[in-house]
Amino acid sequence: MRSLQEKIINEGRVLSSQVLKVDSFLNHQIDPQLMKEIGEEFAQLFAGEKVTKILTLESSGIAPSVMAGLALNVPVVFARKRQSLTLTENLLTAEVYSFTKKETNRIAVSASFITGEDRLLIIDDFLANGQAALGLLDIADQAGASVAGVGIVIEKAFQDGAQLISERGVRVESLARIQSLENGKVTFAAKEGVTS
Ligand code: 5GP
């Protein structure tokens, strides 16, 4: 997605060879126009997959997911990272190690919102080592739901998340694939070869 790549080049900040900061349009301030395009792109990629619901993780997965839900005309469920007094019974849970926070969170979804009838599209903002997406896949399994695929806004292709998800037989679609963050520079992976 060219507009996303341009936004990453213009506004992304390489914090280290492992971490990209995109606080100005995705992780803190949100660019609604870009989120709309992202949602439409996911909807197009998974059109015909009979998706019934989108499953994501709070908080940064919510904006792209809502836009994809709008485009696909399906509800969006986000897994919670913190215990909530209102989220008390029939929980589907998974343990997720956070790449950026270096801590393990128990993520939880109410079983009443995902059932064996659902066909899920799992969406997240970043894909690094795949722990968040694998946790959401685990929750889908517990519910007996089928999974149309995993949609990622920004994949860091030098980490092994995409491979781990593909090995489970699940389709992964990333709108921007970063090959490297070495020397403070973002290099994108093209389908064949590498572009910067
Ligand atoms: P994973 O679970 O695939 O290892 O990491 C994905 C999660 O960690 C995402 O939900 C995202 O919040 C966070 N994350 C991983 N890498 C980055 C990064 O380079 N930049 C930002 N902003 N978040 C990241």
**If we measure between CA atoms, which residue out of 18, 3, 15, 11 comes closest to residue 178?**
18
| Residue 102 falls inside a structural domain | yes
Per-residue pLDDT tens digits for 71-87: 999 999 999 998 776 76
Q: Whose CA is nearest to atom 16 of ligand 1?
A: 128
pLDDT: which is higher, 70 or 191: 70
Res 21: pLDDT:
98
| Residue 193 falls inside a structural domain | no
| Residue 26 falls inside a structural domain | yes
Distance 40 CA to ligand 1 centre (A): 22
Res 191: pLDDT:
63
Res 87: pLDDT:
66
| Total domains present in the chain | 1
| Residue 194 falls inside a structural domain | no
Q: How confident is the model at residue 180 (pLDDT cuts 50, 70, 90)?
A: very high
Distance 145 CA to ligand 1 centre (A): 25
- Comparing 31-45, 96-110, 131-145, which segment has the lowest mean pLDDT? 96-110
| Residue 195 falls inside a structural domain | no
Global confidence as pTM = 0.95
Q: What is the 3-state secondary structure (H, E, C) of the chain?
A: CHHHHHHHHHHCEECCCCCEECCCCCCCCCCHHHHHHHHHHHHHHCCCCCCCEEEEECCCCHHHHHHHHHHHCCCEEEEECCCCCCCCCCEEEEEEECCCCCCEEEEEEECCCCCCCCEEEEEEEEECCCHHHHHHHHHHHHHCCEEEEEEEEEEECCCCHHHHHHHCCCCEEEEEEEEECHHHCCEEECCCCEEC
Which residue ranges have their beta carbon within 6 Å of ligand 1? 19-22, 27, 57, 60, 98-100, 124-132, 156, 161
Q: How confident is the model at residue 196 (pLDDT cuts 50, 70, 90)?
A: very low
What is the domain extent for residue 175? Answer: 2-188
* Mean pLDDT of the region 92-100: 93
| Residue 163 falls inside a structural domain | yes
| Residue 126 falls inside a structural domain | yes
Res 85: pLDDT:
63
Given a cut of 50, is residue 60 above it in pLDDT? yes
Per-residue pLDDT tens digits for 127-172: 999 999 999 999 999 999 999 999 999 999 999 999 999 999 999 9
Q: Which CATH number belongs to the domain containing residue 34 in this structure? A: 3.40.50.2020
Q: How confident is the model at residue 33 (pLDDT cuts 50, 70, 90)?
A: very high
| Residue 48 falls inside a structural domain | yes
